Structure 1
Amino acid sequence: MIASVNITEHHLANGLRVVLSEDHSTPAAAVNVWYDVGSRYEERGQTGLTHLFCKLMFYGSASVGSNGHFELVQGAGGTLNATTSFERANFFETMPAHQLELALWLEADRMGSVLVAIGDTEMGWARDSCMNERRQRYDNVPYGTSFEKLTAMVYPEGHPYHHTPIGLNADRNAVTLEQVRAYFRSYYTPDNAVLSVVGDIDPERTLGWIEKYFGSIPSPGRRPPRRDGTLPDLIGRELREAVEDDVPSRAVMAAYRLPRDGKRACDAADLALTILGGGESSRLYNRLVRQDRIAGAAGFGLLRLSGAPCLGWLDVKATGHAATGALEAAVDDELARFATEGPRPEELERAQAQLEREWLDRLATVAGRADELCRFSLLFGDPQLVWSALGNVLTITPEEVRAVAARYLVRNNRAVLTYEPYWDYS
C-alpha cells in the first residue's frame, strides 16, 4: 500500500531540506531536487533564464565534464532529466538502488560547482538549444504561441506570471555570462532547495551520503524579495484577440483565472473542468464534437499554480466550415447550464475517479512520489500533505463544483483567442 510508506524530514545546517521515503517494493531509488526559482523570479529583459539553466546544469561541473551527467547516470542503468515551470526548477534521476550514491554525488557537484564549467562556449550551446526548442515547440507549430498569448493576457504586464518559462530568444541573446552567474548564485543554493530520495534505501546511510556531499555547500542567503503574484479573483472583463495564422482549422482558446492551488476551491475547479472538458465523456466533447459536429476536439484543463491564480485552459478546434462564433456560443451555453444545474451525481463520481486514478498513478512510481514530495515541501511547506491531497478531492460536493463554475467560468473572467486560417474555407 502506498499510504503505508513512511516519510521523514531533515534539515542540513546550510538550509537544505531533505525528504526521505523508504520503499523496498522495487530495487530502485529516485532522487529529485526542486529549486525555489522559476520564471516568476525573472526580471524584464531576462526571461528564460531558468530554462537556460535547465540546459547549463548538464554541461559539467567541477568533477564532471560536459555531458558527463548523462554518461554516468545512463551508464549505471539510470534515467535523468530536468524541467522548469513558473514556480520551480527540478533535476531528477531514477537509479538502480545500489547506484544511489552516484546520483547524490552528481546533484551535489553541480549544485556546488556548476559555475566552474560555465563559460562563453557553454552559454552558446545552451542558448542554441533553448532557441531551437522554442522554434520547434512554439514558433513553428500551429497554435504554438497560444499559451504564451493567453498567459500574457490573464496575468497583466508587470505581473511575475506574465511571461512563460520558455522566455524570449531576444532576452537570451542579450543576457551576459555574469548575469547568468549572478542568477545561479541567488537561487540554486541549498537553502533554496528541497531534495527528496524515494525507494529502496537505507535512510540512515542515505542521510549520511547527503550530509557528506551536500553539507559543505555554502548558502549565501541573498535573494531578491519574492515578487507578489496577488491579483483580483476575477479579471473583470473579457479580453480578446483575433489571430490569423497558418493553422489547419479555426479554433477558440480561452484562459480563466481560478483559485490558487492548495485551496479547496481549486480542487472543486479541477473537478468542474474535468466534467466539462476532461476527455471524450465530457460535456463539451459530447456537445461540440458528437452532437453539434462543429468541432474535432474540445478540452478543458487546469494549470495549478500556488503563487498566483490558477489557469483554466479551454481548447476547441473547429471542423469543416464551423465558425468560431458557433463554437463560442455552444461553449457558453454548456457553461451557463453547468453553472445553474451543477454536476449530475454520476458525473462527479466519474470525475473524482479520474483524478484519483491520475493521482495514484503518480504516486505508484518512486520518481512520481519523489516529485510530489518536493512539490508539497517546496510550495506548501509540508511533504506530509501528499497523503491528504486525494482525500480533499474526494470530499468535494456537487454544490461546491457548481458554485466555483458559476463564479469563475464566466465571460468577464476570461481571455479569448480566436484563430482563422490564412486559407479560405469557401
Structure 2
Amino acid sequence: MSKDFQTNTGNTGILPVTEIVVPRVDYEQFLLPNGLNIVLHADHSNPIVAIAILFHVGSSREKPGKTGFAHFFEHMLFQRSENIPRGEFFTKINDLGGVFNGGTWQDGTVYYEVVPSDALEKILWMESDRMGYLINTVTQSALEREKDIVINEKRQRVDNQPYGHTSFVIDQALYPSGHPYSWQVIGTMEDVRSASIDDVREFYEKYYAVNNATIVIAGDFESTEVKKLIDKYFGEFKSRPVPELPRPEPVLLSQTRRLFHEDNFALVPELNIVFPTVPMYHKDSYALQILSDLLADGKRAPLYKEIVEKHKLAPELSVNNQPMELSGKFVITVRAFEGVNLNKVHEAVFNAFRQFEINGFSDSDLQRIKNLNETTFYHGISSLLDKSFQLVQGSVFGNDPARFAEDMRLLHAVSRDDIMDVFNKYIKSANYIVSSFVPRGQTDLILKDSEMAYVIEENIDESTSENVDINTEDEPFEYTPSLINRRIEPELGKEPLLTLPEIFNTQLNNGLKVLGITNTSLPLVFFSLRFKGGHLFDTLKSPGVSRLVAEMMLEGTQTRTPEELEEAIGQLGANIQVNASHEYLSLAGSCLARNYIKVIELVQEIILQPRWDEMEFERIKQATINTILQRKANPNSVAINVFFRRIYGDDHILGRPITGTETSVSEIHLDDLKNYYSQYLTPGMATFHFAGDLEPEKALKSLGFLEEHWQGGETPVPEFKLPQPAKKPKLCFVDVSDAKQSIILVGSPAMQRNHPDYAGANIVNYKLGEGSGGKLFTVLRLEKGYTYGAYSYFMPRNTQGLFMGNANVQSAFTLESLKLFKQILSAYGDEYSQADLEITRTALIRANAGKFEHLQSKLEMLHEISTFNLPFDYIKQEEATAEQITLEEAKTIFSKYIRPDQMIYVVSGDARTQLATLHEAGLGEPVLVDVYGNLIH
C-alpha cells in the first residue's frame, strides 16, 4: 500500500487540482474522393502558413534485410521529381523565405514547410509533384548519391557519438526477432547500400499512395481558395490498395537480459534499464507518463534521492515513457561519474523503486507534475507548425485531429491509484532489458552477468565511398500525363507585409532596463533577466566561475532549500533556467499568464537571496567535471574547443572553454562565486525582457520589489586584445581515435554584431552557407555525398564576431573536403553574381514574415536589441540594407571578411588514418593539438 504524506509548499496561490480547461484549436476536416485526408486550421495572426504531410509509413513497415527504407525514401523525396529539378526543393523554399524538412520514425514519415502565405500555392504544387510524379525520376546514379548521404547521417548521429549504439542494443534485445521495432529507423549500412531501384519502386507503390497520406494546412489562408488549390493539385491522383493498418504488438519478456558494450567515444559509464509497456493512447500510457516524472523529475524524486543525493553515483538521470503505435517502453538512463561500477547504479535504482512502493508520493508531487504538463501543453500549440504536427498526428494515429486535447484531459485525470497500478503492473517485479555502456577497456564497471552486445561498427581502414565516380548528370525520364500543365510554376500571391510588434521600453530607478512585447494569442509569458559579461568576467586562471554561478542560482534561497524552491516553481507550472554564455548570463523562464506574479516573486528570491549551499556546490562541481570529461571524447565539442583556442589565443578568456577545465573547476571555491555574484549580477548590468500575455503596467508592478531592494551599478566588461586574421592558413588536427567522421571547422575573426557591415555580411553568406541552398551544402552533400550537411555563418558577438564554416565529413574524404572548403571559399567572391544578390535580398526579407511568430522568437528579438545595443527597428534597417546593397558593395564585404588564406582550419578526427595526408590540402603543415588546443610537440 502506498503511503500518502503532505508537504508544506508555501503560499503558491495555486488552487487544488480541478477539471482542466483545454483551449479549442478549430479545424475543418474532409476527404477527397481519392482518399486524401485534409485538415485545415485558419489563423490570421501572422502572414504565414505551415504545411505538414504525414504518410502512414515508418520503419515498422519494413522487412528484415531491407531496413532503413522509410528513412531512405524520405531522402529521395528531396532529390527531384518530374517538374522540380534536382536540388530545387532545397533552393526554392529557401529562396521563398521558408523553412522545411522531413522526419521519419517507427510509425510515420512527415514532410513540412513554413512559408509566407503568398507561397502556399507554390508549395502545394511542389508537394503534389513529389507525391505523384517522383518515381520516374529515380535513377541508379540518384540512388547511389543518396546512399552516401544517408550513411553519413548515420555516422554523424550514431557511429561517431558516445553511446550512439544504445538504441540498437536495447531494441534488438527488447523486441523479438522480426518485430517491427527490432531494427533502427536509419537501418544498417549494409541494407542501405544494397537498396535497388526495384526496392524503391516497390516501397513507393505500396506506401506512398494518396489515400495513405494526411495533409494539414494551418495559417493565413481563405478556406474556399485553399480547397480549390488542393483539388487542383491533388484531386487527380488515383487511390491505390494499401496494406492493412498495423496492429499493436505488445512485448512480454520471458526473462531479464543484461548486455554490455565497450564504447570507443564514452569516457564515463552509462546504464539503461528498459521495461516494455503499452502503445500510444492506451489507458495506462497516461499514468505511465506521470509515473516517469514522479520517479525522476526533481530533488524529491526517489531515483534522484538514491542515485544523485545519497550515493553520489551520477550527476543526473532521466526516466521517459515512450508509447508508440504498436507498443511502448519505459526507459531509465543513468550516465554515471567516471569509474563508477554500474552494479551500484543498478542496485540504487531498485532501492528507489522499493522506497517508492513504501512511501508513495504526495498530492503536492502529483499536482506539481500536472501543473507543469499544462504549461507544456500550451508550448505544444504555440506556433502554426506545432499545431500542424498535433493535428496531423492526432488525425493519423488517434482518428481525431484534436486528439491532443483529449490526451491532456486524460493526463490531468490520472489518479493516485492509476499510478500505483501501472507501477505494480509494468515495473515492479517485471522483466527488463539492461545495458551497460562503458569506456573501452573498462569492463570491470559492467553489470554482473552481462553478455556482450552485438554491435556493427564500421572499420575506418576500409571506409571508402563506392560512388566516387558516379554520374552526377540526371538521366532523362518519361513524363507522366496530368490534367494540368505541371511544368508551369505558380506565381506568388500578394506579398505579405511584416508588422513588427510594438516594443515597451523603460528604465527603473535602480538602473534595471525593461523591454517587452505584449501578445495575447496564448495564456503564456516568456521572460528573461540578462546580465552583461558572462564568461568575459572569468579569469584565465579560473575559467568556469560564471557557469558555476549560473548553476548555483537555482539551488535554493535563504528562505527555501533547493528542494523547496524547485517545488515552488513546479507548483506554478513554471520553467526557470539560468545559463552562462560567452558574453552574458541569463535567468529565463516561461509560465502560464495567470501565475506570472507568483513566478516573479520567486525570481526576486533567486536574485536577492541566493542560498550558496555548500553541499549543492560540491555536487555541481563534480557534475561539471563529469561533463567536461564526457566532452573530451565528443569530436564536435573537441573541435569547438580547439577552434576558439586557436582563434583567440592563450591570453583571451574566450579561448578557454566556458565550462572550465577539470583542473580549474576543482580549484574554484564558493567565495569565487559569491564575489562574481556581488560584482556583476547587479541591476545596472541587467535588462528584464518579457513577451506574451502581459501588459506593461503589470510587468512594471511585478518588478517593484526588485526596484526598491536591488541596487548596484554597471561594471565595465574586461577588454582583451582582439584576435587578428592569420597571416597564412593554419591547419590544426586533434586526434579522436577511430572517429568515423572528421569534424571540419574553418573561420577567422570578423565584425561585431552592431557593426555596419554585419547585415551585408549575412547577405553575402546566404548563398555560400546559410542553409541547404548554399554552395557548401550543394557541393559537399548533394554533388559529392561526403557529408550530411555543410554550412557557414557569422557568429554575432559584442567583442568581436567570427566567420565560421563547418561540416562533419566521412573520414575517408577528410583531405578532399578540406580542399573543397578552400576552393569554394576562394572562388565564391568572383562567382557571386547579381542574380545571387537578387535571390538573397528577396529570401531574407521574406523570411521575416514568420521569424517572430513564436513568443520565444519575440523574446529573442528583445535579446538582440539589449545585448548588442541595436535600434528597435533593426529588422527594418537590415531589410533596407538588403534592398539597397549593390553587387560591388557585397563583394567588398566578402573580400574583407572571408579570406581563406588567412583562416584557421581545425580537423577533429582519427589521426592514424587521416593526419599524414593533410599536408596536401595546401593549408600548410598540419599541427597536432590536444583537446584544449595546446600544441603537442
TM category (shorter chain) comes to over 0.9
Q: How does 1:217-228 map to 2 (within 5 A)?
A: 217-221=237-241, 223-226=242-245, 228=247
Tell me if 1:85 matches 2:105: yes
CA distance in 2, matches of 1:236, 1:346: 37
Tell me if 1:364 matches 2:390: no
How far 1:279 sits from its partner (Å)? 6.1
How far 1:384 sits from its partner (Å)? 2.8
Could you say what the CA RMSD is over the residues aligned between the two structures, in angstroms?
2.0
1:345 to 357, 363, 369: 363
Query: Is the partner of 1:3 in helix, strand or coil?
Result: coil
- Match in the other structure for 2:308: 289
Closer, same or farther in 2 for the Cα pair 1:35/1:349, shift >3 Å? same
2:212 to 165, 185, 192: 192
Larger radius of gyration: 2
CA distance in 2, matches of 1:61, 1:190: 16
Contact persistence 1:73–1:80 (CA under 8 A): yes
Query: Is the partner of 2:380 in helix, strand or coil?
Result: helix
- Match in the other structure for 1:133: 153
Tell me if 1:73 matches 2:77: no
Q: How does 1:34-45 map to 2 (within 5 A)?
A: 34-45=54-65
Amino acid of the residue matched to residue 375 of structure 1?
Answer: Q
- Match in the other structure for 2:889: none
2:341 to 323, 327, 351: 323
Contact persistence 1:241–1:418 (CA under 8 A): yes
CA distance in 1, matches of 2:339, 2:69: 42
Question: Number of aligned pairs?
Answer: 423
Query: Is the partner of 1:180 in helix, strand or coil?
Result: helix
Closer, same or farther in 2 for the Cα pair 1:89/1:278, shift >3 Å? farther
Closer, same or farther in 2 for the Cα pair 1:320/1:168, shift >3 Å? closer
Query: Is the partner of 2:255 in helix, strand or coil?
Result: coil
How far 1:227 sits from its partner (Å)? 5.1
Closer, same or farther in 2 for the Cα pair 1:226/1:21, shift >3 Å? closer
* Structure 1 spans left out of the alignment, 5+ residues: none
1:405 to 401, 423, 435: 423
TM-score using structure 2 length:
0.44
Q: Residues 260-308 of structure 1: CA distance to partner in whole angstroms, max 9, x if unpaired?
A: 21122101101111222346664423431233211133111122202x2
Q: How does 1:106-121 map to 2 (within 5 A)?
A: 106-121=126-141
- Match in the other structure for 1:164: 184
Amino acid of the residue matched to residue 277 of structure 2?
Answer: L
Of stretches 275-284 and 250-259 in structure 1, the one that deviates more from structure 2 is 275-284
Closer, same or farther in 2 for the Cα pair 1:276/1:2, shift >3 Å? closer
Query: Is the partner of 1:195 in helix, strand or coil?
Result: strand
Contact persistence 2:49–2:218 (CA under 8 A): yes
- Match in the other structure for 1:269: 288
Flag the structure with more relative contact order, 1 or 2, with Cα contacts below 8 A and sequence separation at least 6: 1
How far 1:220 sits from its partner (Å)? 2.0
- Match in the other structure for 1:96: 116
CA distance in 1, matches of 2:224, 2:361: 49
Q: Residues 212-257 of structure 1: CA distance to partner in whole angstroms, max 9, x if unpaired?
A: 1111122222x3445554235x424212112223221111112111
How far 1:392 sits from its partner (Å)? 1.1
Contact persistence 2:22–2:408 (CA under 8 A): no
Closer, same or farther in 2 for the Cα pair 1:278/1:108, shift >3 Å? farther
- Match in the other structure for 2:409: 391
Q: Residues 133-178 of structure 1: CA distance to partner in whole angstroms, max 9, x if unpaired?
A: 1112112221111111111211110111111211111011112111
Amino acid of the residue matched to residue 188 of structure 1?
Answer: Y
- Match in the other structure for 1:237: 255
Amino acid of the residue matched to residue 269 of structure 1?
Answer: L
Q: Residues 19-70 of structure 1: CA distance to partner in whole angstroms, max 9, x if unpaired?
A: 1111122222110000010011101110000010121110011111112112
CA distance in 1, matches of 2:48, 2:357: 47
CA distance in 2, matches of 1:180, 1:411: 45
Closer, same or farther in 2 for the Cα pair 1:423/1:262, shift >3 Å? same
Closer, same or farther in 2 for the Cα pair 1:22/1:347, shift >3 Å? same
1:354 to 361, 366, 372: 372
Query: Is the partner of 1:254 in helix, strand or coil?
Result: strand
1:302 to 321, 336, 357: 321
Contact persistence 1:198–1:367 (CA under 8 A): yes
CA distance in 2, matches of 1:166, 1:37: 14
Amino acid of the residue matched to residue 386 of structure 2?
Answer: G
Amino acid of the residue matched to residue 163 of structure 2?
Answer: Y
Contact persistence 1:61–1:113 (CA under 8 A): yes
How far 1:96 sits from its partner (Å)? 1.3
TM-score using structure 1 length:
0.94
CA distance in 1, matches of 2:295, 2:419: 11
Of stretches 416-425 and 176-185 in structure 1, the one that deviates more from structure 2 is 416-425
Amino acid of the residue matched to residue 233 of structure 2?
Answer: Y
Q: Residues 311-360 of structure 1: CA distance to partner in whole angstroms, max 9, x if unpaired?
A: 11211011133210110111111123224443322221222223222222
Amino acid of the residue matched to residue 331 of structure 1?
Answer: V
Q: How does 1:13-24 map to 2 (within 5 A)?
A: 13-24=33-44
CA distance in 1, matches of 2:36, 2:237: 9
Query: Is the partner of 2:23 in helix, strand or coil?
Result: helix
Amino acid of the residue matched to residue 333 of structure 1?
Answer: N
How far 1:2 sits from its partner (Å)? 8.4
Contact persistence 2:270–2:335 (CA under 8 A): yes
Contact persistence 1:160–1:229 (CA under 8 A): no
Contact persistence 2:81–2:130 (CA under 8 A): yes
Amino acid of the residue matched to residue 351 of structure 1?
Answer: I
Of stretches 347-356 and 159-168 in structure 1, the one that deviates more from structure 2 is 347-356
Tell me if 1:62 matches 2:95: no
Query: Is the partner of 2:112 in helix, strand or coil?
Result: strand
How far 1:108 sits from its partner (Å)? 0.8
